[in-house]
């Protein structure tokens, strides 16, 4: 195929760890590696099975504006003794100054972006024909604008979470930064050749919000390839193993995952044969271990990076968890999101329990398509009953697994989704070729 030379500018690159990284890998698989390059500031290690050309952004390209960059170093204790800047006599600010710094840093501080000579040369050497981005902070959007303006190529924007609704809501400087964000978003959406969302609900909402059509694409998997790894026997082990796989974020699923851990601990202490395994990037597990590993029945393990091992691990569990936070800030952020893990969960043949508020798209999706047993109220009694039901009720287990297989084949098969997604990008790139003809 005649792939256009695509430049991906993103805070989340190709990897086998995060949901975004996995989704991009699945959507772009088969794209010519010679025609794909990524500019990013993702802290996770990148993978090279789809893209092999990366530019990692440094403070020269993207950083907090001054004096906030220096303030951040002070708050983090990064300015050492003898430094020409920072608190006199040591690395630490007073507790009052730190409190002020934390308050400021939580507000979405002003950033500055710069298309450095090094980055501009790197992009020019690649000779891109299409710019694809999931946008991000105000600084990331400023950098996207600078790259688009310098290299005059069509733009495709893909939104994965409703961060425009959630960003720059709290803090001393949030109001001004939010105005900047809204102005940049409106301009980028208006000028984009294509605008993409992650779910039908997001596409519909964004079309109304920004006055232009949005298509929707989310993670897809090779159903034919992984069907062989699916669970055959839905009988339950002793103890029954619940499994959560994925990242853990305080504005997405942390509180509800904690609820699940507490429910499992209570059941286990009462003599019920149950355990919970949490497979997550090591940094996430370490960060929240005290809140999650509250009982010997709960184990935190590292993310599984090998595909074959991952699918077999998911299929081997007795039930899978999809926790979603109930608080207003989390709902604002993830209302229209679709976790990248869902297609893998569905194809595995393992029954799924969804615990989250009914207004969130992924919960609505489970109710509509019946691929998960849903507990949509934050109630420990209902949650405990839901956990027991997904383990004990064999008819329920058969229903949700059958619905999951049907849903993944209809909506998430890479054999259908991937060529449709890539065709949209190819068509967007033709805008430039047509204009130059």
Q: Is 15 exposed, middle or buried (0-12, 13-18, 19+ CB in 10 A)?
A: buried
SS (H, E, C) 100-151: HHHHHHCCCCCEEECCCHHHHHHHHHHCCCEEEECCCCHHHHHHHHHHHHHH
pLDDT at 76: 67
Looking at the chain, how many residues does it have? 437
Whether residue 139 is predicted with pLDDT greater than 50 in this model: the reply is yes
Question: Does residue 374 contact residue 354 with C-beta atoms inside 8 Å?
Answer: yes
Query: What pLDDT was estimated at residue 108?
Result: 74
Confidence of residue 303 (pLDDT cuts 50, 70, 90): confident
Per-residue tokens: 266: 């209570």
According to the model, what pLDDT value does residue 106 have? 54
CA distance 24 to 340: 10
Q: What is the pTM of this model?
A: 0.89
Mean of pLDDT values over 263-290? 95
Q: Which residues contact 273 (CB under 8 A, 6 or more apart)?
A: 238, 239, 240
**pLDDT at position 102 over 60:** no
Indicate the average pLDDT of the chain. Answer: 90
- Write the CB contacts of 208 (distance below 8 Å, at least 6 apart in sequence): none
Supply the pLDDT for residue 396: 98
Greatest extent of the chain over all pairs of C-alpha atoms, in Å:
74
Output the pLDDT for position 338: 94
b/e per residue 128-163 (b: at least 16 CB within 10 A): bbbbbbbbbbbbbbbbbbbbbeebebbbbbbbbbbb
Residue 81 pLDDT greater than 80, yes or no: no
pLDDT band for position 210 (cuts 50, 70, 90): very high
Lowest mean pLDDT segment, chosen from 86-100, 143-157, 307-321, 369-383: 86-100
In this prediction, residue 306 carries a pLDDT of 81
CATH superfamily of 223-411: Glycogen Phosphorylase B; (3.40.50.2000)
Compute how many other C-beta atoms are within 10 angstroms of the C-beta atom of residue 377.
14
Q: Are 277 and 350 in contact (CB under 8 A)?
A: no
Q: How confident is the model at residue 96 (pLDDT cuts 50, 70, 90)?
A: low
Q: Does domain 6-61+110-220+414-436 have CATH number 3.30.70.1070?
A: no
Q: Which two tokens stand for residue 423?
A: 């065709």
Residue 85 has pLDDT above 70, yes or no: no
**What is the rounded average pLDDT of the residues 29-52?**
96
Cis peptide preceding 129, ω within 30 of 0: no
Measured distance CA(385)–CA(149) in Å, rounded? 56
Residue ranges covered by each domain of the chain? 6-61+110-220+414-436, 66-105, 223-411
pLDDT value of residue 82 = 34
Percent of the chain with pLDDT over 70: 91
Shared fold status for 6-61+110-220+414-436 and 223-411: yes
Q: Among residues 416, 398, 403, which one has the least CA distance to residue 365?
A: 403
Q: Where are the alpha helices (DSSP H) in 5-57?
A: 19-28
Predicted confidence band of residue 103 (pLDDT cuts 50, 70, 90): low
Q: How confident is the model at residue 228 (pLDDT cuts 50, 70, 90)?
A: confident
């Amino acid at each position: 195929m005649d792939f256009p030379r695509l430049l991906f500018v993103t805070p989340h690159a190709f990897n086998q760890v995060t949901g975004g990284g996995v989704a991009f890998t699945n959507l772009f698989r088969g794209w010519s590696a010679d025609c794909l390059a990524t500019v990013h500031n993702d802290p996770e290690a990148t993978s090279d099975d789809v893209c092999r050309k990366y530019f990692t952004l440094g403070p020269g390209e993207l950083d907090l504006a001054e004096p906030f960059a220096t303030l951040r170093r002070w708050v983090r204790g990064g300015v050492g003794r003898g430094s020409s800047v920072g608190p006199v006599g040591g690395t630490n600010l007073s507790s009052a100054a730190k409190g002020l710094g934390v308050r400021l840093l939580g507000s979405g501080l002003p950033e500055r972006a710069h298309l450095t000579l090094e980055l501009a040369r790197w992009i020019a050497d690649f000779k891109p024909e299409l710019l694809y981005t999931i946008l991000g902070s105000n600084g990331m959007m400023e950098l996207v604008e600078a790259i688009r303006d310098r290299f005059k190529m069509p733009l495709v924007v893909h939104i994965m979470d409703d961060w425009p609704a959630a960003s720059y809501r709290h803090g001393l400087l949030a109001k001004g930064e939010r105005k900047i964000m809204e102005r940049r978003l409106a301009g980028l959406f208006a000028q984009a050749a294509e605008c993409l969302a992650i779910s039908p609900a997001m596409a519909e909402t964004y079309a109304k919000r920004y006055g232009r059509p949005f298509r929707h694409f989310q993670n897809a998997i090779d159903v034919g390839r992984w069907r062989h790894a699916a669970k055959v026997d839905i009988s339950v082990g002793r103890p029954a193993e619940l499994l959560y796989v994925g990242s853990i974020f305080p504005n997405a699923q942390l509180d509800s995952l904690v609820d699940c851990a507490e429910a499992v601990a209570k059941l286990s202490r009462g003599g019920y044969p149950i355990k919970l395994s949490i497979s997550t990037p090591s940094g996430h597990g370490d960060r929240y271990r005290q809140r999650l590993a509250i009982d010997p029945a709960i184990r935190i393990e590292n993310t599984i990076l090998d595909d074959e091992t991952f699918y077999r691990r998911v299929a081997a569990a007795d039930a899978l968890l999809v926790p979603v936070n109930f608080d207003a800030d989390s709902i604002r952020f993830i209302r229209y999101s679709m976790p990248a893990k869902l297609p893998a969960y569905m194809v595995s043949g393992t029954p799924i329990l969804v615990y989250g508020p009914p207004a969130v798209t992924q919960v609505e999706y489970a109710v509509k398509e019946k691929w998960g047993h849903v507990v949509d109220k934050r109630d420990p009694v209902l949650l405990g009953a839901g956990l027991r039901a997904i383990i004990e009720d064999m008819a329920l287990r058969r229903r949700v697994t059958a619905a999951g297989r049907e849903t993944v084949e209809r909506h998430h098969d890479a054999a259908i989704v991937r060529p449709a997604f890539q065709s949209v990008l190819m068509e967007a790139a033709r805008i430039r070729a047509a204009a130059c003809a």
